[in-house]
Structure 1
Amino acid sequence: MPYPHVFSPITINGLEIKNRIIRSAHGTGLNAGGLQVLVDYHEARAKGGVGLTILEVATVHPTTASSLLAFRPEIVSDYEQLAEASHRHGMKLFQQLWHAGNNAMTLTGGPPWAPSRVMGALSTVLPVPMTKGMIDEVVEAYARAARHCKQGGLDGVEIHGAHGYLLTQFMSPVTNLREDDYGGSFENRMRFPREVIAAVRSELGDDYPLGIRLTASEGVTDGIGPEENLEIALALEEDGLLDFYDVSVGSYYSFDQFIGGMHEPHGYELERSTVATRALSKPTIVTGRVITIQEAEDIIASGRADMVSMVRATLADPDIVRKAEEGREADTRPCIGCNQGCIGGSTGPLMRFGCTVNVGAGQEGKFGDDHIEPAEEPKRVFVIGGGPSGMEAARVAALRGHKVTLFEATDRLGGQIQVARQLPHREEIGAIVDWLEGQLRNLEVDVRLNTNVDAGQWDRWHRSFDWLEHERPDSVIVATGSTPRVDGFQQLRPTEPPAGLHLPHVWSYYDVAEGNAELGTAAVVLDDVGHYPAIGVAEKLLDAGLRVTFVTRHYSLGSAVAGALMQEPALRRLTGHPSGFRIIPRAHLAEVTETDVLVRNLDAADVEERVPADMVVLMSGNVPNTEFAELLDDYEGDVTLVGDALAPRWLEMAIHSGHYAALEV
């Protein structure tokens, strides 16, 4: 077997788990659409070979809001359905029990409960310090919630003692300012977590798996770090009540560390989390951008942990474990670490959990590769454009049995992703088009590079006998993409483009990303969109030694990727950059000259300044390339626009629209 450590069973308090790949608890909120949506999501990963899943946080008490209410007896029947769906495929299922303390709203409408009057990092409400009566009530609530887990047929319980939630707040000197038996010394700060663990163990009995999640770094001065976490873990192990330890990093003081994006290296948490996991004798779990089975194998083989969590990797491809068992690693759809569909989707305007690269994620009952059915009648399909949307459309159409020809005007597939991957910290975004290219090759899609399907080509085809007999498509999917705007359009000043855009030192985002722009010494980057390209351009120029002034209509940079946890890491890198970085928020460009740029405040038109610049980069969004689509007005076959050709948006929408279009052919 190629991965002997990964595919070696492990036993936790008498419970055998078939392999070492687990999925740690992660918020989905999918049961808001009905329990079956959540069941389908987890069952897909069970089918795919995952050994253990820990369900997302379930609140134990009404003073913390959650989509799973473990304190209600009615949840037992939900657990029964979840457990049955998991068990039929050999996956074990645990529940993470949780109270957020000062870091969540309550179901009661009152203020949150916490050890001390310390506001949560992202909260706006001062919490109520817990009395002894409140402490006892919450301890009992944990035990009652654990009882429901066992009654519902779940296989184990994990107590959430990480990420700045209630147990962490008691353990951390940053948030525990108490002067009674629950604060001050290490022993006192450990009292509440120990009471919770003891009560849950008493309720579950000695032969039921019980563990805890701990944080190896709160990411705040005087907070819990790797050594403090080690002390906590060893103290709990000495108590002898826990069967496993799940160690990660982060708190709301360092939110982006929960789910590090592609700017973080694979296994970015391990240096901190393994300080504890190497020292513990009970089974341990680690996480942190582990995206291949080989990476998991290396971690386990090195003794850093016994099990590895691969949440986002299984989100991108539910079958990653099974494919590794079958030697089909090259068929595994990669997680690119963009965070736009998972955490970004959950916190975005639609509040929809999903995955950028996997259309089926979060809607497994309706979509996904296992729902792609052969077409009733195979057709000849032309896909015009080889960006991610066109590539996904071609892949799905070919899987359905259609004869697919994909035309790409340039000498490479991938479209704008080939541009984006050239920016700092964005290399991995290209992994999805690399994978799609391999899939098209395996499916024997006829890919024609350097073929610009313009009006002349279309007319020649129409005149051709071969076209009529052999080439004429039944369906055309138009995936011609979009082009960056360089007309100076600014969303909040749509009729006021800046003067001076004809000057030779004004460039598009593409020009900079692909290295075609002539560099100066001081650049102004206009970001009218708020997504990542402007950040990437600014960082690329800073790395080249230019001073950068970042002008945006937003309140800061990257407002559209804040939910994907990309904003704060970018701010840290750029703000402290030695080349010199400055943000001018709530502003627009009024004029570009040979030596400077006139920047005007959006809220006070008489507030303006001239910023020295010998280079100006515009990020004003894109316009769709519709020229080819307009040629098809009289075409009698099916025509569908996808991706940016329909409307310039982001990678998730591009891939998903191509997928959906191919299902309709």
Structure 2
Amino acid sequence: MREYDSLWQPLQVGPLTLKNRVVVTPHALAYGRDNLMTQQSVDYYEERAKGGAGLILTEAQVVHPSSRGMMLRTLQSWPTEVIPVYERLAKAVHRHGAKVFVDLSHFGAEDNNTMHLDNWRSLWSASGLPSPTYGEIPRPMTEEDIAKLVAGFGRSARNAAVAGLDGAEVHAAHGYLLCSFLSPLTNRRTDAYGGSTENRCRIVVECAQAVRKAMPAEEFAVGVRLSLNEFVAGGIEPDEGERILRTLDETGLFDYFSVSGGAALTFHQTVSPMSIPGTPLVDLAMRAKRITDKPVLTANGIADLDTANGIIERGDADLVAMTRAHIADPHLITKAQTGREDEIRHCVAGNQGCFSRMAKGWSLTCTQNPSAGREAELGLGTLDHVAEPRTIVVVGGGPAGMRAAETAATRGHRVVLFERDDVLGGQIRYAAQLPTRGRWAAMVSDMERTLDKFKVDIRLGTAATVDTIAAEDPHHVVVATGSSWKTDGYLAAVGNHGGIPGLEHTTVLDPITAITEPQRAGERVLVIDDTGDYLALGLAEKLAAGGKQVEVVTTRMSLGDNTVLYLDTAHLFPRLHAAGVELTPQHAVFQVTPEGAVVGRIWDGRTKVVPIDSIVTVAMRAPEGALATALAGRFPVTEIGDCVAPRRVDEAIYEGEMAGRTV
């Protein structure tokens, strides 16, 4: 077992002692009802406390009715009705020796003023400037508004303290209301709350004073979350971030500083996607450490214990946030401390089950960990071990089949896994070969280790048949045979049900062939995308890096529109433009002739002819369900993953987990 001694050291934060240096920072869960946290929320946080985290912060809790936030399930901290659920949360987390702080927030202009029918209102802001995300023009806060806000912070802190929570964090980062006062870009005020750094900090100081004044408990810590760099010209840049932190530190109000970065327009710097390696915000924490002797928390991209331990060991920060790592595996600390580090499931930073769902207002879960948000159903202690082991055959070694096999084997079954390829992983193996997508391989490696540990009988290079399955005399068969890419060029938005005419005039490749055999694509490649996801663009980048001339065509309004949800867009598109990839939205390939692909605008049919050597179609997938049909009536059969309907890896992992639990 590796040593992580620096991580396990306790730390004094104000009046409290944290048992270790690992923190789960605020992140949206969207499990609330009636603007309050629910038992589902409590279960989620308790699972992370049970797994060993030293400090847990709630998702944002708004301090005043003027803020209802970006989602229908935004939570409030100001009404006293919140106290009972805070009490349950405190007891649940304290059972496992962790501390829990409330995140006190106001979203300001990062909001929708008419989302809730019972709460239409004008939005609050520092200076009446609209959010770059939502575009609604807010009104500048009056001094009376500021007084109400300050009182809301105090009332919310009192609710938390009375309920037994351990502290409060004043959220003044990421472009939200308090950050809009701190930023010289969004604060154009000429009164006592604008102008100098000290004036722009005034509202944060007053809110923190209200928190301190409202506390009925002596053992209650207060911190502040700051963007030391907004990554926007004219906004908070590192030197100004240092001045802000120094100003706040000199007040003596704060027991620690949670140092982050980014604003509304640059949230891709706050929660870095898979394409950004390393820990890009640690340098901001190092700057903060030169200013204050209070504990400094750093966040973003800290996905493994080696990295986290190194940050603490070098003194770059005093606390490390491993938030997405704890979404993927809430027990990573206890696993490491008890010699089970090989069981840790690693966050791949795809932002697929977590951030992208939050961006759509959906409840949080995890691609790797379907128990996230389902702790009562799938959390620790819910996996039953069988009294009578049976033989389970799983057909297909992609994510769905691998997860079904490992879960069934963990329960005590004898499991035989047939995979027709020479390696496990299915289409995820190919996705991991695309630029900046290597971390997908961690998902496969995590499951491979578990399969090995529980001695799953893996038959690689073996296409399962009814006879080979029958030879195992299985009690149950799980079919996870996946899907295959179609190459007829069917486009949902165009309704060309017969596909693209004239494809015989060129080489047509599916995405997997283009990834594994790029030489077959020739020099001039047209990629057709009907999905809006990363795949077509990542493939275009890979082919362009190999010296090919690449154009990507889609009928959608923009290319890669779903990459916005994964925070990939701002990182991906500069690379595509630098590689010379031509991007053509709102167009379709109408036909292919000996001269090339006839590409037309979907609105008026205006066309151009693009000379090509090949077309790669990223569109329809067809389920491979023939084996399940052949097995029907001979054995109990469960179909999972893409062979049921081609979808994402999230559904494949979830269905594999559920199949493994029920066979």
Which amino acid in structure 2 is aligned with residue 472 of structure 1? D
Q: Deviation of residue 278 (structure 1)?
A: 4.1
Q: Which digits, 9 at most, give the CA deviation of each residue in 1:572-600, with x for residues without a partner?
A: 322x31x3223222221112245532112
- d(CA) in 2 for partners of 1:502, 1:430: 35
Question: Could you say which residue in structure 2 is the equivalent of 1:79?
Answer: 86
Q: CA deviation at 1:613?
A: 2.7
Of residues 29, 41, 44, the one that matches 1:41 is 44
1:228 to 240, 256, 259: 240
Measured in 1, the distance between the counterparts of 2:296 and 2:541 equals 38
| 3-state secondary structure, aligned to 2:544 | helix
Corresponding position of 1:542:
544
Alignment equivalent of 1:272, drawn from 284, 287, 308: 284
Aligned letter for 2:642?
A: D
Secondary structure of 1:16's counterpart equals strand
Contact 2:483–2:624 (Cα < 8 Å) also in 1: yes
Q: Is the 8 A contact 1:358 1:368 kept in 2?
A: no
Residue pair 2:259, 2:284 contacting (<8 A) in 1 also: no
Task: Indicate if the aligned counterparts of 1:507 and 1:517 stay in contact, CA closer than 8 A.
Answer: no
1:441 shift after superposition: 0.5
Q: % of aligned pairs identical?
A: 37
Question: How much does 1:277 deviate?
Answer: 3.4
2:382 maps to which residue? 371
For the Cα contact (< 8 Å) 2:223–2:254, is it kept in 1?
yes
Distance 2:379 2:492 in 1: 36
Shift of 1:559: 2.5
Which whole-Å deviations, capped at 9, do the CAs of 1:501-557 have from their partners, x for residues lacking one? 224532211112113443433322100112221121011122223332211121112
Q: 2:505 and 2:342 mapped to 1: Cα distance?
A: 47
Match of 2:64 among 61, 66, 87: 61
Code of the aligned partner of 1:490: L
- Counterpart in 1 of 2:172? 161
Specify the alignment match of 2:11 in structure 1: 10
Matched-pair contact (CA < 8 Å) for 1:64–1:100: yes
Distance change (3 Å), C-alpha of 1:369 and 1:512: farther
RMSD: 1.8
**Partner in structure 2 of residue 555 of structure 1:** 557
The count of corresponding residues between Structure 1 and Structure 2 is: 650
In structure 2, distance between residues paired with 1:569 and 1:219? 13
Report the Cα distance in structure 2 between the residues aligned to 1:271 and 1:375, rounded to whole angstroms: 50
* Conservation of the 8 A alpha-carbon contact between 1:63 and 1:105: no
Q: Distance in 2 between matches of 1:621 and 1:567?
A: 23
Q: Residue deviations 1:634-661, cap 9 Å, x none?
A: 31x2101111111111111111111111
**Equivalent position amino acid for 1:43 in 2:** E
1:512-527 correspondence to structure 2 within 5 Å: 512-527=514-529
Q: Secondary structure at the match of 1:518?
A: helix
Distance across 2 between alignment mates of 1:174 and 1:611 = 45
2:264 — aligned with what?
252
Per-residue CA deviations over 1:423-455 (Å, capped at 9, x if unaligned) read 00100011111110110010011111111113x
Q: What's the CA shift for 1:571?
A: 2.2
Q: Structure 1 residues 93-102 or 550-559, which shifts more?
A: 550-559
Question: How far did 1:461 drift?
Answer: 6.3
Give the equivalent residue in structure 2 for 1:591.
591
Q: Which of residues 145, 164, 174 in structure 1 aligns to 2:156? A: 145
| Aligned residue runs from structure 1 range 58-457, under 5 A | 58-66=61-69, 67-106=74-113, 108-204=119-215, 208-348=220-360, 351-368=362-379, 370-454=381-465
SS of aligned partner of 2:244: helix
Cα–Cα, structure 1 residues 273 and 105, in superposed 2: closer, same or farther, change >3 Å? farther
> What is the CA–CA distance in structure 1 between the aligned matches of 2:221 and 2:172, rounded to whole Å?
16
- TM-score w.r.t. length of structure 1: 0.94
AA partner of residue 601 (structure 2): N
Aligned to 2:30: 29
What secondary structure is seen at the aligned counterpart in 1 of 2:259?
strand
- Indicate the residue corresponding to 1:657 in structure 2: 655
In structure 2, list runs of 5 or more residues that go unmatched: none
Partner of 2:501: 499
Q: Distance in 1 between matches of 2:299 and 2:523?
A: 42
What is the letter of the counterpart of residue 661 of structure 1? A
**In terms of mean alpha carbon deviation, does 445-454 or 182-191 score higher?**
182-191
The Cα shift of 1:630 comes to 2.1
Q: Spell out, residue by residue over 1:284-326, the C-alpha distance to the aligned partner (whole angstroms, 9 max, x if none).
A: 1001111111111100011110000001111111100111111
**Structure 2 Cα separation of the partners of residues 594 and 145 of structure 1:** 70
Task: Give secondary structure in 2 for the equivalent of 1:102.
Answer: coil
Deviations 1:60-119 (A, max 9, x none): 011111532111011111110100000011110001101111111356311111111100
Q: 1:638 to 1:279 in 2, by over 3 A?
A: same
Cα distance in 1 for partners of 2:421, 2:271 equals 36
Q: Would the alpha carbon gap of residues 647 and 17 (structure 1) be closer, same or farther in structure 2, given more than 3 Å must change?
A: same
Task: Compute the displacement of 1:150 (Å).
Answer: 0.7
One-letter code of the match for 1:370? G
Local SS of the residue matching 1:597 = strand
SS of 2:504 mapped into structure 1 = coil
Q: Is the CA contact 1:359–1:368 (under 8 Å) kept in the aligned structure 2?
A: no
| Contact kept? 1:552, 1:584, Cα under 8 Å | yes
What is the rounded CA distance, in whole Å, between the counterparts of 1:544 and 1:269 in structure 2? 32
Q: Using the alignment, how far apart are the partners of 1:347 and 1:164 within structure 2?
A: 16
TM, length-normalised to structure 2: 0.95
5+ residue gaps, structure 1: none
Cα distance in 2 between the residues matched to 1:461 and 1:347: 44
- Letter paired with 1:9: P
In 2, Cα distance between the equivalents of 1:561 and 1:32? Answer: 29
Distance 1:638 1:348, change over 3 A: farther
In structure 2, the residue corresponding to 1:202 is in which secondary structure?
Answer: helix
- After TM superposition, the structure 1 stretch with the greater mean CA deviation from structure 2, 116-125 or 383-392, is 116-125
**Farther off after superposition, 34-43 or 511-520:** 511-520
1:551–1:460 CA distance, 2 compared to 1 (3 A): closer
Give the deviation of 1:208 after TM superposition.
2.6
Matched residue SS, 2:381? helix
Q: What's the offset of the Cα at 1:329?
A: 1.3
Amino acid at match of 2:67: T
What is the one-letter code of the residue matched to 1:489? Y
Q: Give the deviation of 1:229 after TM superposition.
A: 1.0
| Rounded Cα–Cα distance in structure 2 between residues aligned with 1:123 and 1:410 | 47
Amino acid at match of 1:389: A
Task: Tell me, in whole angstroms, the C-alpha distance in 2 between the residues paired with 1:397 and 1:562.
Answer: 36
Equivalent-residue separation in structure 2 for 1:99 and 1:459 (angstroms): 63
Deviations 1:467-520 (A, max 9, x none): 3xxx21111101111111111111122325222322453221111211344343
Kindly indicate whether the alpha-carbon contact (under 8 Å) linking 1:226 and 1:276 is maintained by their aligned counterparts in 2: no
Letter in 2 for 1:513: I
Aligned residue runs from structure 1 range 474-493, under 5 A? 474-492=475-493, 493=495
CA shift, 1:270, in A, is: 1.6
CA distance 1:274–1:512, change in 2 (3 Å): farther
Deviation at 1:373, TM superposition (A): 0.4
Q: Distance in 1 between matches of 2:221 and 2:468?
A: 70
- Measured in 2, the distance between the counterparts of 1:223 and 1:545 equals 39
In 2, Cα distance between the equivalents of 1:208 and 1:448? 57
Any conservation in 2 of the 1:247–1:277 contact (CA below 8 Å)? Answer: no
SS of structure 1 residue aligned to 2:497: coil
Question: Bigger shift: 513-522 or 150-159?
Answer: 513-522
